[in-house]
Amino acid sequence: MPVTAVDRDAALIVIDLQKGLSGRDLAPHSFADVVERSAALTDAFSARGLPVVIVTVDAVPPGRTDLSGPPMEFPSGWSDSVAPFSDAPDAWRVTKRSPGAFTETPLHRLLRERGVTQVVVVGVSTSIGVEMTARQAYELGYNVTVALDACSDSEGARHAYSAASVLPKVAETGSAADVIAALTRA
């Protein structure tokens, strides 16, 4: 379904485009393709004076899961943003320690202070960081859009499931070009 609108008070949230994840094989879009499309969205939002939020992760939550192992230590530089996000001087920066960008971070407060009514979410992984952030934003009352070609996952099936079965319940979905076209109309 195409993106119907981008609010005049929208923000772009870029999830986990960081050095520690940059070498991973992703599907259906490569990490480089996700970075390229996310950078085009960053440029479009910045040109209109709209907030861009660069979110990185530097820890995992302490709770037990079926996949939990011993506590993880990330190497130095692991959570540093990749270019061009590392050089975005006006971007807001949020570090998360859980899959969703709103849990125990100042993100909701920052967006509300700025009067943001809509978030556009991009990045990796579609089924984890992007999906959790979109779900949280929806529950907090934001209009949510996900540019699916500016997202990817460790497995194409995970991306496809999120894109077809989960995200349409909490967001409008489309391409980065769809978002830029709607932003131009706003």
Q: How many helices (H) and strands (E) does the chain have?
A: 6, 6
Spatial CB neighbours of 152, under 8 Å, sequence gap ≥ 6:
26, 27, 28, 29, 30, 31, 33, 34, 124, 125, 126, 159
Q: Tell me the pLDDT of the chain (186 aa) as tens digits.
A: 679 999 999 999 999 999 988 988 999 999 999 999 999 999 999 999 999 999 999 877 777 777 667 666 777 887 889 899 888 888 999 999 999 999 999 999 999 999 999 999 999 999 999 999 999 999 999 999 999 999 999 999 999 999 999 999 999 999 999 999 999 987
How many residues does this entry show for the chain?
A: 186
